[in-house]
Chains A and B, each alone.
Chain A
Amino acid sequence: MTDATNDPAATAGPTPDQARRADAADRAAGAPMLAADGTPLKKSLARSLRIQKARALMLVAPLLIFVLVTFIAPIGDMLFRSVENQIVSETLPRTTARIDQWDATSGDAPDEQMFEALFYDLFIAEARKEHTRLGTRLNYEQTGMSSLFRRSGRSLDDISDVYLDQFEDLNEAWDEGRPWAELMGEPDWIADQEEFDAAEAEGRMPAFRVRDEMLELLPRAAATYETFARFAQTEDEDSPLEEEPWGLVHTALYYDLMEADVSGYNGPQAALLKEADAAVAEFETVNFKEGMLAIDKDWGSVETWTTLQMYSPDYTSGYFLNAVDMQKTADGPALRDADERIYGLLFKRTLFMSLVITFSCIALAYPVAYLLSNLPARTANLLMILVLLPFWTSLLVRTSAWKVMLQQQGVINDVLVWLGIVADDSRLVMINNQFGTIVAMTHILLPFMILPMYSVMSTIPPSYVRAAKSLGATNWTAFWRVYFPQSVPGIGAGSILVFILSIGYYITPEIVGGTTGTFISNRIAYHISSSLNWGLAAALGSILLVVVLVLYWAYDRIVGIDNVKLGG
């Protein structure tokens, strides 16, 4: 900031008159308006606004950060699951890299290379216990995937044991950890690991380092051994020097030796490797494709591979398509079979019933709020307690009370039968349907309508209605033309509250809704807690959120959000 006292004009202090004249002169000259300290007024204003804003931001910062961390971030994370699909490419990296080369329209299962990739992926996934998780994920899209992955995981050894056994028969050394570690690992790493093992130290093991020579000579075996060694170190906390590697490594070594020329190799365990190299040509082999098909014939089906191909990308529209009763097919998105569509119906029903509940709340709450705001304060307070009383009662208790009231052997039916209005054998069905949900939810949400209405109505001066009447208006005209328009902001606020609360309601429809009175939120809850299809739940939730925002926007356009008051 420049020091204002250095400016002679500022020291003198312009009189308002002078300043105005100077301003006029400046404007005429096109020069910017200056603040008292000589900086352009615009800049100075912007700076002070900025400081003000920063101060305001600092004041709200604790709440803002709290809301961001505990509310927005988890919701964002949950909604993100509606498109997230990395699990497929993370669990089956080799297969998903190749899968686009397969042509689904060929009508045949993929070739041997694809099955080789699948075998490697599944073997590693099985060691990490991730294959069944992927099976559950894919089972949402195609029935049978869950047991396909579980069964396959159990039987992968059928293939790898063929090689494992032959290597072991050839030389016992292949059955031990040490020779493998010397063959594959950097000598420095072996020394580090030995030191670590000897010290029986806790903590992280020196990370396995593979020899570059091996990566070139035996690429598959070196890569799989590296995966094995890292896994042994971090997951099992076993020293690779002592652990016999997976059968997968033996399998990889077999295929490497069939191709590689190891005659020039002179590193550690050269004799062992050369002995194996000489023998592998005579080894009995299994074809990966035949082996996988023997484990489960579903690996030969085009549907299995089509599903894998369709859900191999990292992000998927599958959950959103499911949420609108569609599904991915080879020819693009298509509607589901008529007997599997449900979400469209539930969305429509949720909106319709929320509107009905909102309107019945308005109809019931308006007279109550009017009465409350026009009674003497003491009586009004007493009545207010009656309005608030349900608020202090548990939601579950209130819902269950409605069950007792409405069921066929319930209070209302008993009274009606006693009065002779309905016959004993044709009692009214008032629960486990839409009617029950609407009644119970209207009752539960009623205070949210009465309170904003009351607080708006109590600010409407009674003199306006008296003035209207004294000018000759009838009671109805005075109410409709003078009182009612002033109470609209209360109706608006109450409606938004009730509508938005009811659109996400869950417990009451679950208990009294039966089959025709349940909401979309009941399905969301089912997918969160029972089917564990969180992606679909997130997609349904996202759609619900968007619908609410669109309705809010429409409300703003039609009624105007400024026209909503919670009081005063």
Chain B
Amino acid sequence: MKFSKTLLTTTALTVGGAAAFAAGHGNMADSMTLVSWGGAYQSSQQQAYVEPYQEMNPDVSVSWDESSAEAVAKLRAMNEAGNVTWDLVDVVAADAIRLCDEGLAMEVDHDEILAAAPDGTDASDDFGDLIVSDCYIPQIVYSTTFGYRTDMVPEGVEAPNDICDVFDLETYPGKRALEKRPINNVEWALLCDGVAKEDVYDVLATEEGQDQALAKLDTIKDEVIWWSAGADTPQLLADGEIFMGSTYNGRLFSVIEEQGQPVGMMWDAQVFDLDGWIIPADLPEDRLARVLDFVKFATDTQRLADQAKYISYGPARASSAPLVPENMKQHMPTDPANAQNTFLYNYEFWADYRDDIDAKFQSWLAQ
């Protein structure tokens, strides 16, 4: 009894003390847990957003949790347990839509919480179409594209520069690496099976279209190694295990520029996707205030442009593009030379068809 009384007093004192402390800082929590993907991407965020922010706010401590790959499942579990320990979560757009659908992410008013562009353009216009969900604060545009071993291109043949070269085993013999999920692969298959770009999703919505895509993939199935982690394709390319493989463009950038491997980028029919923040729903007031303060800073025009110094992903704000360092521009998926033929991930379509097509795809894979 006495013990619990002491405990209560201590707690009251601590809470009171913390509250008094927080009040001195405009009721903001002095620590944040950010969730990201680890690796080069997370360190670009650390350098471009977190370190400058901590210089301005030396009292704030930031911890990282490298859980973005399982963010939706973990956030759902935390929410059910009633104890959300994350303050800001980096997710791809499709996951942001799902989190928003499930009520796990907070809906935000982009113009109210985000900084306007230097020329005064509202944040929502600056981000434009990239705001694919009311809960989503985009940071970067990345793409899923192909890299190939330049030393394995057969003699007398042009290096692959067309998405359909992936399906052409005669001209370009060798193993390919594709992601172990239908998304992107079925679109590429249909594109190379004579379906026009604008019709791809209409065709995919039908049983016949799905069968057509799988039949096209069937022609290279024996030569495919299926990857599930973003690091797989770079490793397979570096080991000479495959001739070409799909992965995120930033991973290929580091294979080519940092490791100096004989690897080339294909860029054709690269699929654009987004990465950005969501704020978990129902955060306590002091933590929310801190996160909003941080997000406003971390997604302003300069910060997004700064991030492009460290990784070859394009900033999501239109106003950041001119500020990207010259030497990085050629590696950006959004660079006009690279973006001659691009494909935009259709979030709405995949939200509906993901379960259905995935079941077919997995069954096809297992045969």
A positions within 8 Å CB-CB of B:
129-130, 132-133, 135-136, 139-140, 143-147, 150, 339-342, 345-346, 407-410, 432, 510, 514-516, 518, 523, 528-533
Contact with A along B54-85 (1 / 0, CB 8 A): 00000000000000011011001000000000
Chain A residues near B70: list those with CB within 8 A.
Answer: 529
Contact B101 A135 (CB under 8 A): yes
A143-B355, A146-B351, A346-B366 known; A409-B239 Cβ under 8 A: yes
Question: Does B103 belong to the interface (CB within 8 Å)?
Answer: yes
Contact A407 B239 (CB under 8 A): yes
Additional A-B contacts beyond A147-B351, A346-B366 (7; CB < 8 A): A139-B351, A147-B352, A432-B226, A516-B366, A528-B73, A531-B355, A532-B72
Contact B241 A408 (CB under 8 A): yes
Contact with A along B336-357 (1 / 0, CB 8 A): 0000000000001001111110
Interface centre among B180, B239, B362, by most chain A C-beta atoms within 10 angstroms, is B362
Contact A139 B355 (CB under 8 A): yes
Out of B69, B98, B175, B225, which one reaches A136, CB within 8 Å? B98
Chain B residues near A410: list those with CB within 8 A.
Answer: 239
Q: Which residue of A lies closest to B354 (CB)?
A: A531
A143-B355, A531-B354 known; A409-B360 Cβ under 8 A: no
* Chain B 209-241 interface residues, beta-carbon cutoff 8 Å to A: 211, 225-226, 228, 239-241
Helix, strand, loop or mixed for chain B's interface? helix
Question: Does B364 belong to the interface (CB within 8 Å)?
Answer: yes
Complex: how many Å from CA A140 to CA B354? 9
Chain A residues near B226: list those with CB within 8 A.
Answer: 432, 514-515
Residue pairs across A and B with Cβ atoms less than 8 A apart, 22 shown, are A132-B102, A133-B101, A135-B101, A139-B351, A143-B352, A143-B353, A143-B355, A143-B356, A145-B352, A147-B351, A147-B352, A339-B360, A342-B366, A407-B239, A409-B240, A432-B225, A515-B366, A529-B70, A529-B72, A531-B355, A532-B72, A533-B355
Out of A133, A147, A342, which one reaches B103, CB within 8 Å? A133
Chain B residues near A532: list those with CB within 8 A.
Answer: 72-73, 76, 98, 102
Question: Does B113 belong to the interface (CB within 8 Å)?
Answer: no
Question: Does B365 belong to the interface (CB within 8 Å)?
Answer: yes
Complex: how many Å from CA A432 to CA B359? 20
Number of contacts between A and B (CB, 8 Å)?
80
Contact with A along B91-107 (1 / 0, CB 8 A): 00000001011110000
Out of A147, A342, A514, which one reaches B348, CB within 8 Å? A147
A135-B101, A342-B366 known; A144-B240 Cβ under 8 A: no
Out of A129, A144, A340, A510, which one reaches B228, CB within 8 Å? A510
Chain B residues near A432: list those with CB within 8 A.
Answer: 225-226
Contact B103 A130 (CB under 8 A): yes
Question: Does B358 belong to the interface (CB within 8 Å)?
Answer: yes
Q: Which residue of A lies closest to B100 (CB)?
A: A132
Report the minimum CB–CB distance from A338 to chain B (whole Å): 8
Contact with A along B7-29 (1 / 0, CB 8 A): 00000000000000000000000
Chain A residues near B360: list those with CB within 8 A.
Answer: 339-340
Report the minimum CB–CB distance from A347 to chain B (whole Å): 12
Complex: how many Å from CA A514 to CA B366? 9
Q: Which residue of B lies closest to A531 (CB)?
A: B355
Question: Does B4 belong to the interface (CB within 8 Å)?
Answer: no
Question: Does B327 belong to the interface (CB within 8 Å)?
Answer: no
Complex: how many Å from CA A136 to CA B99? 11
Chain B residues near A533: list those with CB within 8 A.
Answer: 355
Please list the 7 inter-chain residue pairs (A to B) with the smallest Cβ-Cβ separation, ordered nearest first.
Answer: A132-B101, A143-B356, A529-B73, A342-B363, A129-B103, A515-B365, A529-B70
Chain B residues near A139: list those with CB within 8 A.
Answer: 351-352, 355
Report the minimum CB–CB distance from A73 to chain B (whole Å): 13
Chain A residues near B365: list those with CB within 8 A.
Answer: 515
Contact B363 A339 (CB under 8 A): yes
Complex: how many Å from CA A514 to CA B98? 28
Complex: how many Å from CA A298 to CA B262? 52
Chain A residues near B239: list those with CB within 8 A.
Answer: 407, 409-410
Complex: how many Å from CA A144 to CA B206? 12
Report the minimum CB–CB distance from B80 to chain A (whole Å): 10
Complex: how many Å from CA A523 to CA B358? 11
A136-B101, A143-B352 known; A407-B241 Cβ under 8 A: yes
Chain B residues near A150: list those with CB within 8 A.
Answer: 101, 351
Contact B103 A345 (CB under 8 A): no
Contact B225 A514 (CB under 8 A): yes
Contact B352 A146 (CB under 8 A): yes
Chain B residues near A341: list those with CB within 8 A.
Answer: 363
Chain A residues near B359: list those with CB within 8 A.
Answer: 340, 342
Q: Which residue of A lies closest to B232 (CB)?
A: A511
Contact B101 A340 (CB under 8 A): no
Contact A140 B355 (CB under 8 A): yes
Complex: how many Å from CA A394 to CA B354? 34
Contact A523 B362 (CB under 8 A): yes
Contact B366 A345 (CB under 8 A): yes
Complex: how many Å from CA A529 to CA B95? 11
* Chain B 225-283 interface residues, beta-carbon cutoff 8 Å to A: 225-226, 228, 239-241
Complex: how many Å from CA A531 to CA B181? 11
A147-B348, A516-B366 known; A531-B103 Cβ under 8 A: no
Report the minimum CB–CB distance from A56 to chain B (whole Å): 30
Out of B69, B72, B101, B366, which one reaches A146, CB within 8 Å? B101
Report the minimum CB–CB distance from A145 to chain B (whole Å): 8
Q: Which residue of A lies closest to B355 (CB)?
A: A140
Contact B358 A531 (CB under 8 A): yes
Report the minimum CB–CB distance from A311 to chain B (whole Å): 14
Chain B residues near A130: list those with CB within 8 A.
Answer: 103
Report the minimum CB–CB distance from A318 to chain B (whole Å): 13
Chain A residues near B72: list those with CB within 8 A.
Answer: 529, 532
Chain A residues near B73: list those with CB within 8 A.
Answer: 528-530, 532
Chain B residues near A340: list those with CB within 8 A.
Answer: 359-360, 363
Complex: how many Å from CA A530 to CA B362? 14
Q: Which residue of B lies closest to A141 (CB)?
A: B355
Complex: how many Å from CA A408 to CA B359? 30
